[in-house]
Amino acid sequence: MASFSDKRWGFVKDYVRKEDVKFMGEAGPMNNFKLTKKADRKNVYTKLKTWTGMNVYKKEEIPEHLHYRNNKNILDILLVSKGKDMVMTTFSGEKRFIGG
């Protein structure tokens, strides 16, 4: 197992505008979030795909071997770490990063 210092943290807000996100999970190697009705889903997905340490899936594109596609708790977009990358949704001291 990699130590905490070996992990690479990436911030969702570096890729997605706060106004486009209705709900997002907490920090970790995997995250998923619900977009607002006004969000340009294709644009958000395209920006997240540039995150080299993450696999990015639209709900309907989640591979069968992950067994998540039909889970009611999986939202519009799923991020899954390719290795040591971790998703961070806020900086310390900030309010939780939720649009809406």
User: Looking at the predicted structure, is the pLDDT value of residue 66 above 50?
Assistant: yes
pLDDT beyond 60 at 2: no
Whether 93 shows a pLDDT value over 70: the answer reads no
Q: Tell whether the model's pLDDT for residue 95 goes beyond 70.
A: no
pLDDT of res. 8:
73
DSSP the chain: ---GGG-EEEEGGGTS-GGGEEEE--SBSEEEEEEPTTS-HHHHHHHHTT-TTEEEEEGGG--GGG--TT-TT--SEEEEESSSEEEE---TTSPP----
Q: Is the Cα dihedral 83, 62, 11, 90 positive or negative?
A: negative
Q: Picking from 19-23, 49-53, 86-90, 91-95, which range would have the lowest pLDDT averaged per residue?
A: 91-95
The CATH architecture of the domain made up of 11-88 is 2-Layer Sandwich (3.30)
Q: Give the pLDDT score at 6.
A: 55
